[in-house]
Structure 1
Amino acid sequence: MYREGELASLASFSNTLKLLKKDAHFNQFCTQHRVPKGTTQEITDDMKHVYLLESGYLSYTYAGKVGGGYFFITFPGSFANLPISGNQVPMVGTLTALTDVVWWKIDVDFLRKMLFTEDPRNHIMLNFALQTRYYLYLIVKKYHLTSEERVYFSLLRCTESGIQVKDNQAELPLFLTYDLLAQFSETSKSYTSRVLAELRNKGILQSSKKPWVITDVNYLRNLVDVGDDLRPLV
């Protein structure tokens, strides 16, 4: 069993690149790219490349038969996609650059070879599996919420990409807009705007200028009964 944060440290961005660079053919199979905001990349089950995010933020929107609106945000230093086995649960979807990003495009076969030889304890795979488990839990949680609760829940999830400026107070990421929040919440923009207006009237949300600020994070947590289910702000 790993201590809290230990696995993430072992599978960090710098350690992952250091591992890959041990091969003399690194530059042949791993290339760095600047990707403008708004760029999309389809993810399929037979992908020949994985994407390791160096800077910026991506959204991963699931596009399977179950339905749309299931998303998670990929943080700097994380893999956006990483096939753990050949017959894994399908995770087809779309990556969208929420900001200008820099990512590494890595050949799957090269990565597989390097992980077998240089990461025999599977720290990188285990860390990605743990992240995915967390994301899937959030998707299940969202499935049981009302429309109004989904807006609150999506706001809380966006705090994970924000900054904790004070105890129980968070700045939301600059990329967040009414349209994007409505998409994340699976609600219309007009409905989302009404819910946010109620939060502003109660002094819970400050959104007259960027960055938006949630003045009472615990208030939102109580509305959707998540307690400490969401991880701490990063």
Structure 2
Amino acid sequence: MLDYVLSLNEKGGPVVTILLVLSVAALAMALYKLWHFHRLGIGRHDAARDALTLWQTGGPSPAALAKIDGRPGPLPVALAHAMRGMLYHPEKGKLVREDIDAVAGREIAAARRGLRLIETVAQVAPLLGLFGTVIGMIDAFQALQAAGAMVDPSVLAGGIWVALLTTAVGLAIAIPCSLIATWFDARIEREIETIEEMATAILTGSLTATGGAAERRSERIAAG
């Protein structure tokens, strides 16, 4: 594998070298973000949902807050702010909402940090590949002109093949980087939707949730 990479680097020239360096940087960032998302609990909502259920069924209480207080990640941090605000400042719902938006925005920005590198590699790699192809084609046609009447078609074909190599390498790097960046963005968007849903339930849904539970209990009693 190493020999193959070195041969690509030798045939493609400095442009392929730059592309390979960018691919290593993007891969390292992708692995780091996987670890970062795991540490923040992106996509794992069990503790938050348990806390929300306790909040809605048992009423606002420090016990519900304790289930998520101190946990890392955009959802637990935002939800803890919502519960803390409604516990200690229930009359200031609008200000609590503004505080939640600010906190959630800050946490989401921290979760996104580093993804710009992967997105940039996905955008730049095809352009660099095309740039290398253009340079290679210029060299090939210069060699064709210098040969004059003694043109060897195989030499020209070989020069064009090497020139197109940079475009292939650029696309081979850009496509997975684009897919990886899209996957990370989709997980963050889902996290934002979950924060909005649960924060709204904390601020405005407790009464309706409690009322629904009371209705269900009344129906069970009447049926019994």
TM bracket, shorter-chain basis: under 0.3
Structure scoring higher RCO (CA < 8 A, sep ≥ 6) equals: 2
Taking structure 1 as the reference length, the TM-score comes to 0.22
Greater share of helix: 2
Q: Which has the larger radius of gyration?
A: 2
Taking structure 2 as the reference length, the TM-score comes to 0.23
